Amino acid sequence: MRRCAVAVAAGSLLTALVSAAPPGPDVPPDRTLQAAFRAAARQHGVPEQVLLGVSYLQTRWDQHAGAPSVSGGYGPLHLTDVRSALATPAPHHGHGSEDPRGDTARPARTVAGLAPDVRTPPERLRTLERAARLTGIAPGRLRTDPAANVHGGAALLAAAQRELGQPPSPDPARWYGAVARYTGSLPASPGRPAGAGEVRAATAFADEVYAVLRKGARRTTDSGQRVELPPAPGLRPGRGRLRAPGPDARAAASPECPRGISCAWVPAPYEEYRTPDGGTDYGNHDKADRPRSQRIEYIVIHDVEGYWEGALSLVQDPRYVSWHYTLRSSDGHVAQHVPTKDVAWHAGNWFVNTKSVGLEHEGFLTAPDAWYTEAMYRASARLVRYLAGRYGIPLDRQHIIGHDNVPGGTAAHIPGMHTDPGPYWDWSHYFDLLGAPLGPAPEGGAGQVTIRPDYNTHRPGYTRCDGTASPCPPHGSGAVRLHTAPDARAPLVRDAGLRPDGGESTTGVNDTGARASTGQRYAVAERRGDWTAVWYLGGKAWFHDPADRPTAVPAAGRTVTPRPGLASVPVYGRAYPEAGAYPEGVPVQDVSPLPYRLPAGQRYTAGPRTPGEYYRATTFDPAGHVLVRGEAYWQIQFGHRTAFVRAADVRATGGR
């Protein structure tokens, strides 16, 4: 969604850990990050591989130029500072004009007046303060000096080991309990037992760290440092002495999640309520019977545009809107809110809502350095893999889409559609974690390409991250900018739907009018030197694609073009049935074309072939819900967002 923030106050974490005499503030400046891990491990008595594994799962050893994550974490060890996680309150889906429900048969769902309930501060965002006390290193240095940050993280692990009554040990298998406590999922107070959900979150984090240790890792960090963690395939830790779970009010409900991630049931309300004008309404989702009633075709990736606590407060308000899952940044913990069989109100397009599952990730589109942790990326990928297997959803970018790829249902909806997760979401790494890497198709040729720039080195400039025309901080991106000619000085492609007045596309971080993202597949229109043109929004769109630093790879698959004899065909934002398909008593929904045409001679890559469907669910009692089916459509990659064309209007070739 567009820029907004959800405030969160914060409380203390790890206050009951036993302090050690600080080693002093004079941590020597290590010449390499690998050396910093080695020195910190030796000084604090923590096995080096444990320290490397915890850091990898939090940050992949990156420094992010000293900028904090969305949960206020700094440096390779993600030391959290509550002061960096404060923001102005604003509701989640309340920014801009998008109606998250996206059903024009009902009044727009307005949520702009609602604010999150954040009266209870979290107990997990002050590890940097604790590390400063343990080490004697100034907080400012812990934020900005990678070597000092590593020492701070090592001190926290050593203190947790002491708090458990365990001696330091060179055996990494004996550090499971300390690792489980690292993110603050477990309460620090010995007098309060951990809830079942807290224990699940802590153990899932530790299990993932030890999975990293068994597999090993190596990479070059964002600061150019080469770091390596040798594999230890036989490593099997003891579970340590985690506190026995206390009562869990939500234990009776079973969330739909795979093994290996921490998942809790935090239900969104399905209830009627009185409106200010004295009427009644209900919220905040609709009952259904998927997949028996409708196939689930899509998984939609969102970012919360705020913090975990605020998102959970909002989704439990019947006046608000809903999504199926929320993922926490610090440790990848997941909350499910709506059963996957039911329809959540999240994507701004009713057709897509009725055929999708929505995942919200704690984070911010317009704060590129308020980054997503590796723990959250991994938990999200595990969840998506599980859902895709359960519902037969292909692991590709025609089915695993961003909110910013969802089309406006009608021309009037296009300008208000949300733009998350935006150009800083690392789709390439995400699909690696999904086990479906976005490489060149074995049978690919010159006719199609998959967008795939190198995320770390590809840094197109964006503006308006802070609401002004100032440049955003330089940052890796999976998005490619599109021009009207093979020249970086040529104007950007125009989007007639986004700007019906004919205005130009911009470099604004929320402007999707001239953008292609990693994993999206397009038909090639022309090549000239280091430039490639693809068919996009009814014309040619050019991007820089030099052979020595390609931003796209060869692809293969089905494409569509107008049937012979047709000069062009209409393009739609929703695949609704034709008028004759509606039974008596069910109002016909307008099949409204978008302000685009697909001309003869142009080809567009195709996703799933789907029946036209409209799920009428305008009453609280689901007994009155009706599913209407009609003639078939093809989903196509028409611009940055997907679109639909009638199967009867086009000829499909190639692919499967």
Q: Render pLDDT for 188-227 as a digit per residue (tens, 0 to 9).
A: 554 555 556 678 889 999 999 999 999 999 999 988 899 9
Does the structure show a pLDDT above 70 at 653? yes
Does the structure show a pLDDT above 60 at 92? no
Query: How many C-beta atoms surround the C-beta of residue 479 within 10 A?
Result: 26
Confidence of residue 9 (pLDDT cuts 50, 70, 90): very low
pLDDT of residue 193: 52
pLDDT of residue 64: 87
Q: How far apart are CA 604 and CA 644, in angstroms?
A: 11
Does the structure show a pLDDT above 60 at 18? no
Q: Render pLDDT for 604-615 as a digit per residue (tens, 0 to 9).
A: 999 999 999 999
Amino acid at residue number 163? E
Does the structure show a pLDDT above 90 at 348? yes
Q: Which of 91-100, 124-133, 163-172, 637-646 has the highest mean pLDDT?
A: 637-646
Q: Render pLDDT for 182-199 as a digit per residue (tens, 0 to 9).
A: 987 665 554 555 556 678
Q: How far apart are CA 26 and CA 39, in angstroms?
A: 13
Span 72-77, average pLDDT:
91
CA dihedral 152, 366, 413, 101 (to 10 degrees): 10
Tokens found for residue 57: 């799962």
Query: Angle of helix 33-44 relative to helix 146-163, nearest 10 degrees?
Result: 30
Q: How far apart are CA 235 and CA 307, in angstroms?
A: 35
Give the mean pLDDT of the chain.
88
More reliable by pLDDT, 140 or 241: 140
Confidence of residue 369 (pLDDT cuts 50, 70, 90): low
Amino acid at residue number 115? A
Q: Render pLDDT for 36-46 as a digit per residue (tens, 0 to 9).
A: 999 999 999 99
pLDDT of residue 543: 98
Does the structure show a pLDDT above 80 at 13? no
pLDDT of residue 133: 95
Tokens found for residue 559: 């494409």
pLDDT of residue 637: 98
For residues 332 and 593, the answer to whether their CB atoms sit within 8 Å is no
For residues 417 and 407, the answer to whether their CB atoms sit within 8 Å is yes
Chain-centroid distance, C-alpha 281: 31
Q: Render pLDDT for 160-174 as a digit per residue (tens, 0 to 9).
A: 999 999 999 999 999
Q: How far apart are CA 390 and CA 382, in angstroms?
A: 12
Q: How far apart are CA 246 and CA 195, in angstroms?
A: 4
Of 137, 207, 156, 136, residue with least CA distance to 45: 156
Query: How many C-beta atoms surround the C-beta of residue 248 within 10 A?
Result: 17
DSSP secondary structure, 62-113, as one string: --GGG---TTSEETTTTEE-GGGG------STTSSS--SS--TTS-----TT
Angle CA 162–166–167, to nearest 5: 85
Predicted structure pTM score: 0.90
Q: How far apart are CA 379 and CA 261, in angstroms?
A: 6
Q: Render pLDDT for 256-276 as a digit per residue (tens, 0 to 9).
A: 999 989 999 999 999 999 988
More reliable by pLDDT, 468 or 74: 74
DSSP secondary structure, 279-325, as one string: -EEEESEE---TTTSS---EEEEEE-SB-HHHHHHHHT-TTS---SE
Q: Which of 89-93, 396-400, 626-630 has the lowest mean pLDDT?
A: 89-93
pLDDT of residue 307: 79
